[in-house]
Every structure is written in structure tokens, then in C-alpha cells.
Structure 1
Amino acid sequence: MNSSNNISKKRYSKLIVFDMDSTLVDAESIDELARAAGVVDKVSVVTEKAMNGDIDYNQALKDRVKLLKGLKLETAQEAMNAMHLMPGAEELVKHVKNLGFKTAMLSGGFTLSTDRVGKLLGIDYVYSNILAVEDGYLTGEVSGPMTGNNSKEVVFEKITKEMGFNTTDCIVVGDGANDICLFKNAGCAIAFNPKPILRQYADEVITKKDLRAIIPIIDSLDLD
């Protein structure tokens, strides 16, 4: 674990927000769907550029989903069910829940995967996108609350407002460029095996592929 030791000495309200792909699960949903559709090389190139912040996230999402047109829904669901949780995911979520945290998962991925992962981990708030289906096949279209460039920021603010406190009172965990808007607004931002662009916004950086490495950071905070 690498630590930047930049966490301010303050009290944190008990909400922790997670990204899903390459954070709570050890895969990228869109790439696994692309693998099932036989277009993984084309999609992976766009995914890498989007996560590094080299191209517009919203457009990248639409472009990648278009390549999935014609994929059988049953095959897509099988690919999503085959994704494994990140090592330590269950232990970390259980730990923060025992501390009284509410948990949220804000993902640019899809309900085909987030519904299962959210249920497995007992996540309180789950937001993701929906792949359009017609006659049992993906149409290549996507909709939902996480399709915009700053959708995570909007939903983050919505959740904290409903809970009665500020985003700056909360903890976030993510890995890519589309998590920057979360990191800028959170009180404690933890980058988990991040893309280089995200490191500059992080209070803590984890380079070990095990979410249990975050537990000591949580335990060091002054919690409400």
C-alpha cells in the first residue's frame, strides 16, 4: 500500500461510495460483454482511453455499447455472472457496515452486473446504466442515471442530500478518470490500483490488489 497521508483531521459521516468495475469486481463489465460478443479488442482500446481520461466518457460509453449490438441477452448475463468480486471486497464491505456505514455503488456499468454485485455485498444504494434489449438481444443502446460525464457527482450529491450531510463528509473509492468528480468532492478519496490521472486527486493510494488494504485507512479516521 502506498499512502499519501493527505487525509485532513476531521470527522467523517458514515457513507462510503464505491466504483464497481476494477474496484469491487476484478473486471471491466463492458470488456467482458465485448469478449462475449467477439469485439473485445475494439472495445478495450476505447475503455483504456476513457479510464485514462483521454476521451469523453459519455461518447466512449455509447461507442462501446454500439459494438455490442446483436449480443444475446442470455450470453451477456452469463458473462456478467462470471465476473469475480475483487479480493477483499466482502471483508471490506462487512467491516464498514459493522462500523455503521451506509454504502453506495456508483457505476458506469450495467444492471446486468450491478444488481448481482449489489445484492452479494449488501450495498445500500446502487446506481448504474441499462442496456436496451429487443427480442432477447442487445440493441446497442444504453440509458440510465450514469451515462453523463459527471453523473457520479450528481448522484453522489443526491444521496448525501437525502442523508442530510455534505459530500465532503464522506469517503469514496475508485480507480479511473470517471471517478475524478467523486474525488474532488469527497472528504477522503481512496484510489485503488488507479489510472495515473486519478492519483493526483487521491488522499490515499492503494497499489495492492486487495480491498482489505483499505480497512486500516477507515479505522484511522475520526468517524461520527
Structure 2
Amino acid sequence: MSEITASMVKSLRDRTGAGMMACRDALRETAGDEEKAIEVIQKKGLSKVAKKAGAIAGDGLVHAYIHGAGRVGVLIEVNCQTDFVARNEDFRQFVEETAMQVAAEAPLFVSEQDIPENEILARKAIFRGQLEEEAKQTGREKPAAAIEQIIEGKLAKWQKEACLLDQLSIMGDEKTIRQRADELSAKIGEKISIRRFARYELGEGIEKKKSDLAAEVTEALRGS
């Protein structure tokens, strides 16, 4: 079993709102796997967020973010369970920063569950074609089992880039958007969920000079 450190316990507590001992026990039970530990805590009803999970997340905020003098625009809907939380400054800041994330990193979906099956099949076909082309150029063909493993690895990497919840935050805290949402949920005691977003970029689909939009958004954030 891996060592359960104080930082691991704190991270789990921040995401669930459960007690320190409950977090430590859950991490020990799952050999330090934080995601599995969250499931353990929720099943035992120890999470402050889980206790309110039955409530409908029908409140929240629709927020518009415009970057670069109108070059990029984002509309995002983030839900909570009460209008009290919808007016909370931490919640509003999370919505604003998540909209900036969408502007900078251009995710395609909120989560893996939102990816259509035909999109997954299309991506696999692209990756398979790349491997076939590589085999032609090198004259070395990989075993079928190895090809499937590589394709699955490429797909997993693409999903992390394409899904907003799996992206690393541009805020520089080395946390994913999912982790930031979980921590906010634990802090305010209500489930926070990103429902949908739309991103528009000036001249999208038209060939134009490329720029580092992610760096621009991050710089704008620092200056605000």
C-alpha cells in the first residue's frame, strides 16, 4: 500500500468536505486512489456534497465572456442548487474562470459522457490511419494487439484535451476543472455542475494567422 500523506488527505477533504479521519480511511481502503476514495466516501454518505445530491441543480448562472476586443466569445451555464449559492462570489468567480478556460483551451465537450459514439469511432479511424501510414514509411508493422493499445492511449489523451472537466486549469494550480468544481462543491456544500458551453471565434473556419490564444487569456487574467 502506498503511503497516505497529509497532502493527499487534504486534497480529498477539499474535494468532498468529509472529515480528516474519513478521508484517511478512504484513501487507505483504496490504496491512495483519490477518485476511488471519493466514491467510497459518497457511498458511505460522508460527503457534505453527497448528502445534498438528491436536490435538483436547477439554479446557477449563465455567463458571457468576451476576449481580445471581441475576437473570442464564450457562453457557459453552470448549475447549483440554490439562488443563494448562485449569488456567492466564489461561485461567480469559478464560472468566470471556467469561461476563460473555454476561451483559451477550446474544449469540445463538457465531459467524456458527452462525446458521441460516432466521434469516438472517427477518432479511432484517424489514429489507425496514422499508424498504418507510419508502418508504410518505416516498413515495420506492429502486432494487432499493440496497435489497439496505442489507439486506446491516443484516444484517452485526446479525450483529456477535448473534455473541459479533464483539462488542467489555466489558473496554474495544477488542478483539473473537475477537481476545482469538486473543491468548490465541498466548500459551499452544494453540487456544482457545468451543464453546457458555446465558444465562438472571429473568422472561425477561415484561414488566418495563428496566435497563442491560451497565453493571451492567461495574460489577461493576470492583468485583471
TM-score class, shorter: under 0.3
**Higher strand proportion (structure 1 or 2):** 1
With structure 1 as the length reference, what TM-score do the two structures score? 0.28
With structure 2 as the length reference, what TM-score do the two structures score? 0.28
- Which has more radius of gyration? 2
**Higher helix proportion (structure 1 or 2):** 2
